[in-house]
Copies of this chain bind each other. A is one copy, B any other.
Amino acid sequence: MSLSEMIEQMAKDAKAAARRLRSIDRYQKDAALDLMAKKLLSSKPDIIKENQKDLVIARAAGLSNALIDRLTLDEKTIISMAEGLKEVAALPDPVGEVTGMWKRPNGLQVGRVRIPLGVIGFIYESRPNVTVDAASLCLKSGNAVILKGGSEAINSNLVLAALLAEALQEAGLPPKAVQVIPSTDRDTVNILIGLDEYLDVIIPRGGEGLIRFVTERSKIPVLKHYKGVCHVYVDKFADLEIARQVCFNAKVQRPGVCNAMETMLVHQAVADSFLPEMIKAFQDAGVEIRGCPKTMALASGIIPALEADWPEEFLDLILAVKVVSDINEALDHIERYGSNHTEAIITRDYDRAQRFLAEVDSSVVLVNASTRFNDGNQLGLGAEIGINTSKLHAFGPMGLNELTTTKFIVHGQGQLRS
């Protein structure tokens, strides 16, 4: 069987599994998730053994320590994966919710009911724990999933997938509801994203290159974000202590993630009182500042910002800083260089807060809070499979509801259209 025949067969099996999942109730799904957690905990040695194979290859290939670290599964990470499964089991089941029901003048009762999307293709890099996270969210929302992980994690992913499939089987659910593609061939992604007859959505997670590759070629709708160039705008009427804390948190608390601040915009009226101390705090924390000329005039040790710095996602302890003449300039800057991901304003002024919330075209817009809150868990969605910055389907963090859609159900008594 060729690679494309194998992947097409997996897609067919997934579609058949998805049909069965449509009418499975919460008890069965949660029982399967609990069983998955038990299997992981009782199979620690097997998982670690397979993970070691990946680690040996990774070390031989000279992967960085950071990547090796992300690839490693130990007792602790396995326990954490099992706990994640139990947390997903405890979340409410989105499927079957009637989101609205109304009566038409002719007596037809029309409702919308939440249903699974069907078959999800999930394409990701490195961390093998994502295999378990993604599988659990897809299963809980009634979807079948085909997982294509990073080639460096193939042995880890396959042993995890085998355990999950075992649990599905024992729980009376279709084992093909969760499948990992058992190949590291680079062509697998290309084949998978062409199977629009079987898959309903593709979710790629990883570097911008991977995501652009998938988006440009996929025949299947894609939920994704390319990058997070997140801004905090410190307004003329900001509480400067809140501004200092929020900006520091947004940049430093975890700089390598998509909801970290990349550019700080400061109203010129508070630049003198705010920037010198703020920049010192950043520099003390090891943050490199790339500033506009006005910023450079207010502190030392600043690198001149280039045009290329404004649309850049640094994912590191680097921050672009610009002094703006008013809120209009801040809004224009965000419109031009932002990535529709996350922006925050710091202000005590009611009208400016309202205007920023209304006019900024980003998936999460905050007043007086850190950009780091753009996260499904933090915003109260329960869990997160990713963030979408295209406007279609789900704008922003995607939880279980965002892995579903609604269909119309209609109760009639013989109504005809005239």
Contact = CB atoms under 8 A, between A and B. Distances in A.
Contacts of A219: 215-216
A102 interface: yes
Interface string A209-220: 000000110010
A239 interface: yes
A373 B108 contact: yes
B408 A396 contact: yes
Please name the 7 residue pairs, one residue from A and one from B, whose CB atoms are nearest each other, closest first: A369-B412, A372-B417, A242-B414, A249-B416, A366-B410, A393-B393, A221-B392
A362 interface: yes
Interface stretch (A48-56, A150-158, A282-290, A353-361): A353-361
Contacts of A221: 221-222, 390, 392-393
Contact of A417 (B373, B394, B412): B373
Nearest to A219: B216
A236 B406 CA distance: 29
Contact of A245 (B222, B241, B416): B416
Nearest to A416: B249
A22 interface: yes
Interface string A277-317: 00000000000000000000000000000000000000000
A200 interface: yes
Given A221-B221, A368-B412, A412-B366, A391 B361 contact: no
Contacts of A169: none
A65 interface: no
B110 A414 contact: no
10 contacts: A115-B395, A221-B393, A249-B417, A253-B417, A365-B408, A368-B414, A368-B415, A369-B416, A392-B392, A397-B408
A335 B19 contact: yes
A43 interface: no
Interface residues of A, number: 71
Contacts of A4: none
A190 to B, nearest CB: 14
Interface in A38-59: none
Interface string A378-418: 11100000000011111111000000011111111111111
A200 B335 contact: no
A201 interface: yes
Nearest to A111: B357
B361 A118 contact: yes
Q: How many copies does the complex hold?
A: 2
Given A380-B104, A392-B393, A405-B395, A373 B410 contact: yes
A22 B407 contact: no
Interface in A324-376: 335, 353, 357-359, 361-370, 372-374
A246 interface: yes
A301 B277 CA distance: 90
A23 interface: yes
A81 interface: no
A117 interface: yes
A363 B215 CA distance: 25
Nearest to A196: B215
Most buried by B among A253, A391, A409: A391
Contact of A408 (B215, B223, B364, B417): B364
B253 A410 contact: no
A380 to B, nearest CB: 6
Contact of A373 (B23, B196, B390, B415): B415
Contacts of A196: 215
B357 A110 contact: no
Given A117-B392, A201-B391, A392-B201, A407 B104 contact: no
A219 B249 CA distance: 36
Given A104-B379, A369-B415, A392-B201, A407 B362 contact: yes
A165 to B, nearest CB: 23
